[in-house]
A and B are shown apart, each in its own frame.
Chain A
Amino acid sequence: MKPEQDRGRLFTRRAMILAGGQALMFTGLAARMYYLQVVESSHYRVLAEENRISLRLLPPPRGRILDRRGAPLATNAQNYRVVIVPEEAENIEQMLDRLDRLVQVPEHERRRIMREVRRRRAFVPVTVRENLSWEEVSRIEVNAPDLPGINIDVGETRSYPFDGAAAHVLGYVAAVSERDLTGDPLLELPGFRIGKTGIERQYDLQLRGKAGNAEVEVNALGRVIRELRRQEGQPGQNVHLTIDIGLQEFVAKRVGEERRAAVVVMDAHKGDVLAMVSVPSYDPNAFNEGLSGKEWNRLITNPDTPLTNKVIAGQYAPGSTFKIAVALAALEANIPPSFRTSCYGHVQLGNQKFHCWKKGGHGSVDMLDGIKLSCDVYFYELAKRVGIDRVSAMAKRLGMGQSLDLDIPGERNGLIPTRDWKLAAIGVPWQLGETLVAGIGQGYVLATPLQLAVMTARLVNGGFAVTPRLTLAPPGVDPADEPPHSFPPIGVADASRRLVIQGMVEVVNNPQGGTAFGSRITEKRFAMGGKTGTSQVRRISLAERDRGVRKNEDRPWRERDHALFVGFAPVDAPRYVVSVIVEHGGGGSKAAAPIARDVLLEAQRRDSSSVMPGRIAAAPPVDKGPAR
C-alpha cells in the first residue's frame, strides 16, 4: 500500500505543477491576445481596411474632336463584346459550341479563349469576340437563357467616322507604351488608349479628362463584393478644329489618285487650316482595334510614308513658288517693277551655265512678265542683284525656315540658307552661283507645303504675319467666346505686295504665257491667282540636255520633278490660300494647278471658312484688293 500512496502523492504534486504550467500558458495566450487586440488594434484595423477596400479607377469618356461646324471627326463608339465568365458557364467548350452557331468563333480564337480561361481567375470575364454587329448582339440576347455565363459587354472605342480622310490631322490612339507612362494611374489601366500623333496627341491631356474612382470592397482574390463610394471623373473636353470636313473629304478624294502628294487650304486672314491632306493616308480606326505586327510593318516600311504628314513634315525645294519671296525682296530692295532683263534661255556665270526652263528664252522681261512667265533668267538676275541674305530675310518674314507652331506635332523647319548658315553648317563660303539657284527656289532652299501656304497668305492678307492653327479655341473654350486674333504686319510695302499679287493673277488668268492659264477659274467671282513651281529632283546633265531627254515622261517616276502650286482666291478679296505639291508629278502647271483650282473653287462654293454652314460670311476686313 505504501508505494501506491507515494505514487499517488508524487502524481498529485506533479499534476499540480503541470496544471500550473498550463495556467501560465493560458496567461501567455491571453497576454498575446491583449497585445494584438487592444495595444496594436488600431494598427491592424487600418491594415484590415486596406485589405478590404480597393480603389478602382473609372476611365472618363474621351473628348470628341469636331470640325469647324461641329461635325464629329473622332468620337467614342460603343463596342459590343461577347464575354464568357468561366465560373458561371457550366461547360466552357459546350458554351463556345453553342455560341459558334450564333456568331463565328474561329478555331484559333477558341484556343486563345481556353488559354485565357485557364490563366485567369474564374470570375474574370474573358472576351470571346469584339465589335459585334447589332444583329449579332440581338441573336445572342435572344438565346441568353441557353447561354449561362455568356454576357454582352459594352466598351468604348475611338471611332473616326471619316476613316482616312483626316488621318494626319487627327492622328490616332493606341495602347500606352512604356515610354508614355507619366504617373497618371489612368495610363496603367489595361486597354487604355492615348493619342499617338496629330490632334489626339497634342491635346491628349484635355481629351483624356480626369479619372473618377470607386471605392469597392474586394475579397482576397480581388473580386468586387460591393461598391462603397463613387466619385465620377471629368469627361475629356471636346476639341473644335478649324478643319471643314466637307472640304477635307473633297481634297482627299481629289488627290487620292496621286501616289504622294500634300495639299493644305488655309484662311488667309485667320490662319485657320481648312483642309490638310497628305497622300497616301491610313485608317486611324485600324490602330484602335490593334494592328498586327505585319500591318504595322507594312505601314512603316512603305516607301510612300503613309504615316508622315507631308504638309508639315515634307520638305521640298519650293521651285518657282519661291519667286514670290525673291520678287518681294527685290521690290523692297528698291528694284523697280519696270526693271528688265533679257532671257536667251540661259545665263553664263564664270564657266557655269544657268538655264531657263524655256529653251529658246523669253526675250525682254519685266517683273510682271517674270512672274507670269516664271522666267528663270529674270530671277537669276534679281537674286544676283539682291543677294542671298536679303532674299533669305524676306523668305523668313514670309514664314519659311522656321516652325510655324501649328498645334500638332511633327512640324519641320525647312531651310532658308544664308551666308553665315553655309559657313557654319558646311564650312565652305557661299558661292554666287548658289544665290542664282536659290533665286528659283532650288539648291539649299527647302520649304514645307504649309510654309508655302503661309507665305501666300501673308502676301494676300494685307501683309500680316498670320500663323496657321488647327483649333478654333483652346479645348474647353467655346469657339464663340474666343476673341479674334490679330497678327503683326510683316512690314512689306503695299505696292510691292500688290505687284506680286497682280503677277500671280496673271499667271492664272493671262492667256499670253500665264503658266497656269489652263487651270483658271472661269466663274469670275471665284477667280484665283497663283504661282506654279516645278522643283527638280535631280540635276539634268549637259549630255541629257543635248540629247533632249528633258521631258518628265521620259524619266523614271522617281526622277521626275515635283509639281507645286500656291494659289489664292477670290482675286478681288483673297480669302483662301492653297498649297499643293504632287511628288514626281511633273510640271506645276500640269499636275498641281488643276488640283488647286478644284480645291479653291470647292472652298468658295462651300464657304468653308465660315463657321455656320451655308451662311456667306461678311467680307473679311482687309486689303482693298490687288491693283490691276
Chain B
Amino acid sequence: MRILPYQAVYQTEMTLRQRLWQINWSLIFLITVIGGVGIAMLYSAGGGAMDPWASKQLGRFALGLIGMFIVAVIDIRIWLRYAYVIFGISVAMLIAVDVIGHIGMGAQRWLRFGPLSVQPSEVMKMALVLALARYFHRVNIEDIGRPVFLIAPLAMVLAPVALVMKQPDLGTAVMLMAGGGAIFFLAGVRLWKFAVVIVVGLACIPIGWNFMHDYQRQRVLTFINPETDPLGAGYHILQSQIAFGSGSVFGKGYLQGTQSHLNFLPERHTDFIFTMLAEEFGLVGGLMVLLLFALLMVYGLAVSVRCRNHFGRLLSMGVTVTILLYVFINTAMVMGLIPVVGVPLPLISYGGTAMLTVLGGCGFLMNAYIHRDVRIGRHAGES
C-alpha cells in the first residue's frame, strides 16, 4: 500500500484521468491473490478440473473486477446522491423475491433476470452500508445523541432484516444487523444505546425461537452438541471438523483431501470451501488465507482513517466490516464455533452474486480512497 502525501486542501473536482491515476494497485493485487486462491480451490473441488466451478468463477471474477473499476471511478457524490435509490431498489428486490422468488435450498433466495439469477440479500449488504453512510454523513454529531435521529437508520436496518428473516436467511440477517451496528458505532452512537439494544435483543430470543423454522432450530441444537446425531443434522459440522483436524499443520496436499474428494464434506465448493483449503493446505494454508483477509482489513482501516469526507469514511469502513463479517461467520461456522448458517467465504466460495457484491464493495473501498480528499457537503449535490 502506498501512502500518498497529505493534501492540505480539499479537492473539489477530479477528472477521470486523475481518478484512474489514483487507483491503488496493491489493493487490486491483494484481491486478485484472494480470488486466485478461490479459483485454485474450486479447481480442486471439481476433482482437479476447471469444470464445473473454477472456469465459471474465473469469468465472474474478471467481470467483477471490471465492475469494481467502474464503481471505483464514479464520482463519490453520485453514489451519495443515489444511495437511497439503490437501497430502495434492493428492498424492492427483497420483497419481489418473497413474492415470486425461486425456491432453492429450502428458502426463497433467488431472483431471475433472464439468464442471470440474483440474490437480493447479497446486494442488500452493500446497499445498506451505502444508505447508512449517507444518512450519518448528513447528521451532525450533536444530533446523533438524540434518539429521534436514530429512528430512520434503525428502520433502514430492520426492514431488510425482517425481509431476509422471512426467506428465511439467518446468516444474512445477522450480517445486516452486525454491519449496521458497526456503522452506528462508527457514527458515534453512544455505547449504552448498544447495551440497551443488546439487552432487548436477548430478551427477544425466545420469541425469535418461535419464529424459526424447524431446520434452523435443528441447526442451533446440533451446534450445541454435534456428536449426538453424527449421521443426521450434526453431520456437516462433524465432517468439517474432521477435515480440519486431519489436515494437520501442513495439510494433505493439493487435490489430496480425502474428506473433500470422497464427498464426506458437504457443499465443498460453496460454504465449506475453507474447510477444504484447511484440509489440503493445513494450518499453514488456513492462516495464510486469514492473513490475506487481515491485510484487507488493515487496508480498509487505513483508507477510512485517511478519508477526509465522512461519507467516504463510513462507506469504506462499513464495506470492510461487512466483508470481514462474511469471513468471520463463514470460518467460525465451518470450524464449529457457531451454528451452520449459509454465509459464503468472500472471493473464494463459488457463487455469482456474492462475488459481485464483494467486488462491488471493494470498488466502494477504492472509491473512498480515490476520493479521499474530495469535500462533500452535508446535503447531496452540495460541494
Contact = CB atoms under 8 A, between A and B. Distances in A.
Interface of A: 3-4, 6-8, 10-12, 14-19, 22-23, 25-26, 28-30, 32-34, 36-38, 40-41, 43-45, 47-49, 51-52, 217-221, 225
B258 A48 contact: yes
Contact of B262 (A14, A19, A43, A52): A52
Given A18-B185, A26-B290, A6 B141 contact: yes
| Interface SS of chain A | helix
Contact of B290 (A3, A19, A29, A218): A29
Nearest to B259: A48
A19 B304 CA distance: 11
Nearest to A44: B245
Given A26-B290, A44-B242, A44-B245, A32 B337 contact: yes
Interface string B253-289: 0000011011110000000000000100011001100
Interface stretch (B168-176, B210-218, B327-335, B357-365): B327-335
Interface string B315-357: 0010001001000100110010100000000000000000000
A18 B301 CA distance: 9
B297 A30 contact: no
Interface string B155-194: 0000000000000000000000000001001111000000
A41 B246 contact: yes
Interface residues of B, number: 49
A220 B264 contact: yes
Interface string B64-86: 00000000000000000000000
Contacts of B182: 18
A28 to B, nearest CB: 8
Contacts of A8: 308, 310, 313
A3 B244 contact: no
B8 to A, nearest CB: 13
B22 interface: no
A38 B286 CA distance: 13
Interface of B: 140-142, 182, 185-188, 239, 241-249, 258-259, 261-264, 278, 282-283, 286-287, 290, 293-294, 297-298, 301, 304-305, 308, 310, 313-314, 317, 321, 324, 328, 331-332, 335, 337
A47 to B, nearest CB: 5
15 contacts: A4-B310, A6-B141, A11-B187, A11-B313, A11-B317, A15-B313, A19-B301, A22-B321, A28-B337, A29-B332, A36-B245, A37-B244, A47-B245, A217-B258, A219-B264
A48 B278 contact: no
A225 B262 contact: yes
Nearest to B248: A41
Contacts of B328: 22, 25, 29
Contacts of A25: 324, 328
A4 B307 CA distance: 12
Nearest to A12: B305
Nearest to B287: A30
Contacts of B142: 3
Contacts of B298: 19
Contacts of B297: 19, 22-23
A3 B283 CA distance: 47
A33 B244 contact: yes
Task: Point out which of A16, A19, A52, A220 has the most chain B C-beta atoms below 10 A from its C-beta.
Answer: A19
B283 A38 contact: yes
A458 B241 CA distance: 76
A262 B253 CA distance: 73
Nearest to B328: A25
Nearest to B308: A8
Given A10-B141, A29-B331, A51-B259, A36 B244 contact: yes
A7 B259 contact: no
Nearest to A50: B242
